Amino acid sequence: MAAGRPDPDALLRAAAQEGRGRLKIFLGAAPGVGKTFEMLSEGLARRRDGVDVVVGVVETHGRAETEALTRGHEIVPRRAVAYEGRTLFEMDLDAVLARAPRLVLVDELAHTNAPGSRHAKRHGDVEELLAAGIDVYSTLNIQHVESLNDVVAGFTRVRVRETVPDGILEAAEIEVVDIPPDELIERLKAGKVYLPQEATRALDHFFSRSNLSALRELALRRAAQAVDARMLEDVRALGLGGTWAGGERIVVAIGELPGADALVRAAKRVADGLHGPWTALFVETPRAAAFTDAQHRRVAATMTLAAQLGGAVATVPAPSVVEGIRHFLADARATQLVLGKSRRSRWFEWRHGSVVDRLVRDSPGVTVHVLSLAADAPAGPSSAAKRGGSWGSRTGYVVATALVAAVTAVASGLFHVLDLGNVALLYLLPVMAAASLFGLRTGLFAGIASSLAYNFFFLPPTGTLTVSDPENLVSIVVLLGVAVATSQLTARVRAQADLAARGARTNATLAGFLRRIAGVNDAREAAQMICDDICRLLDVQVLLLRPGGDADVGGGPTILAASDPDYRLGPVDVAAARWALDTGGPAGRGSGTLAASEWLFQPLAAGGRVLGVLGVASDRAGAPVRADQLPLLSSLIDQSTLVIERLRLEAEMRDVDAVRTRDRLRAALLSSVSHDLRTPLTAVIAASAQLHQGASPELIATIETEAARLNRFVDNLLDMARVEAGALRLAVEPVDLSDAVAGAAQDARRALEGHAVLLDVPPDLPLVRADPRLLHHCLLNLLDNAGRHGERAGEIVIEGRNRFGEIRLSILDRGPGLPPGREEEVFETFRRLQGSDRASGGTGLGLAIVKAFAAAMDMGVAAANRADGGGAAFTLVFPSPLVVRDPVPEALD
């Protein structure tokens, strides 16, 4: 991006922040540093400043100093939740929202709420408070930060399950509550630090001096990073052209093995340090087809985690992991690669080659970070899958046996013309057939059966299974080798074909969806198409909702379309949909919020605003969409969002356009009215005044002419007002054009004075469908125009023609004609070409009315210069649907 131009995304994020509450986090290295104390003190200070502060939830753990501080605060009572015989006390979110303070203190941001609460985690509550415009103070220990979870667990051996997404920290102001490690250890010894029961076991280790120093450093660094990130954001929003490290793009390759989430967190740290975008990549190899559901789920969960941490996610199909990663690195022009090294057996590594080694060799210029993955990978998944899959079918063995028998029969029939070697060659046939058709094990079986048969029937001594000549052992080994090689080759080819077919299917699905939806121009139609297509592609029920009209009057989400008209939405479902709409995060089944809903609602967000939510539901247990279909769903959602956004922008553009046109018209109208009404009025008044001195035919003619002109102008103003107000009511009926033209010529006789008018409308011209009054006004204006712009005494021709079923009615004058190349401009409102019109008394409205009326009646209208030169030609075109077929003659007799 060019320096000096504000980054629109950054501005949008900044705009989204406005109206939201601000979050301040008191970040500590460890329990006991005094975060809660600090938060309460600062809360009191704010309270003294006159800020409306309440305590949402604070754990004092019975410490006297802390308790004393809470006494100065207003405390919103907690909500009692009964759970498995115990009573838990949670923050009463609704009560706080109803109380609507300026600032609320919420202790322990990482806390997990009691089951059945609105949000699984307390940070969900905090998000809702922020969204409601309430400022929040909260506390957090560094080990609860999502991306640092592994790091901390790595050196403290204490792993916490409760984590807070990094995104929350990034949007928050962070204050580190810091005391030196020695002091903390003192406080611990003095019993001033409360620790949960289960943690005591690891205490001695956790609170070691070295650990505390490391945690302290982490906390300080994280806080510094947050400041850094926000500064960067500001710099981008202001377009200051900052000096952030440019061009670093990080890719993390994830797999189905446990430990992938650690990889994602590591990548997030690398990306944060380099301020570069990062992508979690899953390479879908043929092996992925044999994944268990648990493995699919693990991949999906890792991808979700990556998205939560702010990374992009991508899935690419490829024949091997190495190849997939290599291509993606090249495509994404990545500079850093984060990989995990699994502790596979040496045997596996020898056979497959180390992925890490090959990537390092094949990707020059890319920094490769390798993380050693936990050894606790259960040996289960891959081998279990293999066992499950490839014992082969019974048919395979039967066919193999039959083939071997057949070859044996043929060979014994031909034995007198064949030597032993050729017989062995014949046995290759059943082995290859079995291996390629039924896989390795059947192939091996055929190999063994063949060598036995060969040995028994043909190798001397025949009739026994002994081998006399060691040379013949070679034949048996070769038969078995061929079985192995053939089956492996076939399996690989088949797997690649499967993979290619699957990729092609996904691409075709997306392309088809895009093609169908690209042609849609109506929002409702598009919504229905999105629902139907996603329903068909993923076999789920689909709902599309958009935000309700006005939030102030309690407008909930409105259903735009549904794949199944008999959908059911309970109160929980509506709440989840609303949540997704309001917050722009997923809600409902399979998400962290309102998981009790039957539906999973995903927001369609573009440009920082939520355009709608897509709900999916199915009868399957667990998440509504299969894990391996999640990437397809998110692609479909992305495309749907684009389409909806496009339609919304188009509609907006039309509105803006209409408003602009109206404004322009209004201004032109005012100037025209004042000029064109006053001119004839002045003439009438002046002429009438002179009548007192005695009438003269000249004066009377002036009054008549000017009054008629005034009348036409008023007619036109009224007509234009009707067009503008959209109040044109058509009364279409069959019209005889010769009749219409004669009537118009009669009414326009004053404007046509001095011109020879030639009516050339054949009496057998078919009738046309039109509103007779509107058509009359069109003709009046065209004749008026011809009379004014045609030269004096020039003839005016009105010509009706039947051209291949469409009727063209032209009005031709003799005169200067229209400026070449600008003929069509004459139809614009208040347009007077050639600047001479003021003198000739034009209003600039007439031709615009002609065009508007013609359009209302589905007629065409064209302006051109006469083909023979020397004049203008205006043509009304009645396309064939407007032409009435001649009635049956009997009806007329």
Partner 1 sequence: MAIVLVVDDDAAIRRLLRNTLVRADHAVVEAADGRDALARGAADHPDAVLLDLGLPDRDGLGLIPLLRAGGAAVLVVSARDATEEKVAALDLGADDYVTKPFDTDELLARLRAALRHRRPAAAAAQVAARGDLSIDLDRRLVRRGGEEVHLTRKEYDVLALLARQVGRVVMHKQIIAAAWADDDEARIEYLRIVVRNLRQKLEAPGPIGSVIANELGVGYRLLAAR
Two tokens at 836? Answer: 């001479």
Neighbours of 863 (CB within 10 A): 22
For 527-539, the DSSP string reads HHHHHHHHHHHHT
Give the residue, chosen from 220, 596, 742, 862, that forms a contact with partner 1 under the rule CB under 8 A. Answer: 742
Phi and psi at 607, nearest 5°, equal 55, 35
Scanning 62-70, 100-108, 769-777, 814-822 for contacts with partner 1 by CB under 8 A, the matching segment is 769-777
CB of 693 to partner 1, least distance (A): 21
Two tokens at 174? Answer: 């962070």
What span, in angstroms and rounded, lies between the C-alpha atoms of 208 and 185? 8
CB of 732 to partner 1, least distance (A): 10
Task: Give whichever of 332 and 745 is closer to partner 1, judged by the CB atom.
Answer: 745
Q: For residue 736, state whether it binds partner 1 (rule: CB under 8 A).
A: yes
Pair 350, 265: CB distance under 8 Å: no
Give the residue, chosen from 767, 782, 818, 847, that forms a contact with partner 1 under the rule CB under 8 A. Answer: 767
Q: Which of 778, 777, 743 is nearest to 759 (CA)?
A: 743
Positive or negative, the CA dihedral 575, 578, 582, 585 is positive
CB of 525 to partner 1, least distance (A): 35
Give the residue, chosen from 246, 763, 820, 835, that forms a contact with partner 1 under the rule CB under 8 A. Answer: 763
Pair 232, 244: CB distance under 8 Å: yes
Q: For residue 750, state whether it binds partner 1 (rule: CB under 8 A).
A: no
Q: Which of 588, 604, 591, 589 is nearest to 546 (CA)?
A: 604
Q: Which residues contact 456 (CB under 8 A, 6 or more apart)?
A: 462, 463, 464, 465
Residue type, 622: G
CB of 846 to partner 1, least distance (A): 17
Task: Give whichever of 195 and 732 is closer to partner 1, judged by the CB atom.
Answer: 732
Two tokens at 106? Answer: 């919420």
Q: Which of 792, 779, 754, 798 is nearest to 846 (CA)?
A: 779
Q: For residue 725, state whether it binds partner 1 (rule: CB under 8 A).
A: no
Q: For residue 738, state whether it binds partner 1 (rule: CB under 8 A).
A: yes
Residue with tokens 């030196």: 180
Q: For residue 564, state whether it binds partner 1 (rule: CB under 8 A).
A: no
Pair 410, 425: CB distance under 8 Å: no
Q: For residue 335, state whether it binds partner 1 (rule: CB under 8 A).
A: no
Query: Residue 873 pairs with which residues in a beta bridge?
Result: 812, 864
Pair 252, 338: CB distance under 8 Å: yes
What span, in angstroms and rounded, lies between the C-alpha atoms of 312 and 307? 6
Give the residue, chosen from 195, 418, 467, 745, that forms a contact with partner 1 under the rule CB under 8 A. Answer: 745
What span, in angstroms and rounded, lies between the C-alpha atoms of 113 and 51? 28
Scanning 270-278, 577-585, 622-630, 735-743 for contacts with partner 1 by CB under 8 A, the matching segment is 735-743
Task: Give whichever of 520 and 707 is closer to partner 1, judged by the CB atom.
Answer: 707
Q: For residue 731, state whether it binds partner 1 (rule: CB under 8 A).
A: yes
Q: For residue 186, state whether it binds partner 1 (rule: CB under 8 A).
A: no
Task: Give whichever of 39 and 761 is closer to partner 1, judged by the CB atom.
Answer: 761
Residue with tokens 């002429």: 687
Q: For residue 760, state whether it binds partner 1 (rule: CB under 8 A).
A: no
Task: Let me know if 196 is exposed, middle or buried by CB neighbors in 10 A (0-12, 13-18, 19+).
Answer: exposed
CB of 668 to partner 1, least distance (A): 25
Task: Give whichever of 226 and 684 is closer to partner 1, judged by the CB atom.
Answer: 684
Q: For residue 756, state whether it binds partner 1 (rule: CB under 8 A).
A: no
Write each residue from 784 to 813 as x if it is in contact with partner 1 (CB under 8 A), else as -, in one continuous string.
------------------------------
Give the residue, chosen from 90, 92, 771, 784, that forms a contact with partner 1 under the rule CB under 8 A. Answer: 771
Task: Give whichever of 293 and 704 is closer to partner 1, judged by the CB atom.
Answer: 704
Task: Give whichever of 683 and 884 is closer to partner 1, judged by the CB atom.
Answer: 884
Give the residue, chosen from 772, 816, 841, 860, that forms a contact with partner 1 under the rule CB under 8 A. Answer: 772
Give the residue, chosen from 6, 72, 242, 743, that forms a contact with partner 1 under the rule CB under 8 A. Answer: 743
Within 439-542, residue ranges assigned H as helices are 440-457, 470-518, 523-538
What is the three-state SS of 373-417? CCCCCCCHHHHHHHHHHCCCCHHHHHHHHHHHHHHHHHHHHHCCC
Neighbours of 170 (CB within 10 A): 15
Give the residue, chosen from 97, 418, 665, 707, that forms a contact with partner 1 under the rule CB under 8 A. Answer: 707
Give the residue, chosen from 200, 468, 674, 711, that forms a contact with partner 1 under the rule CB under 8 A. Answer: 711
Scanning 24-32, 58-66, 83-91, 882-890 for contacts with partner 1 by CB under 8 A, the matching segment is 882-890
Give the residue, chosen from 522, 739, 760, 824, that forms a contact with partner 1 under the rule CB under 8 A. Answer: 739
Interacting residue ranges for partner 1, rule: CB under 8 A = 707, 711, 729, 731, 733-736, 738-743, 745-746, 759, 763, 767, 771-773, 776, 884, 886-887, 891-893
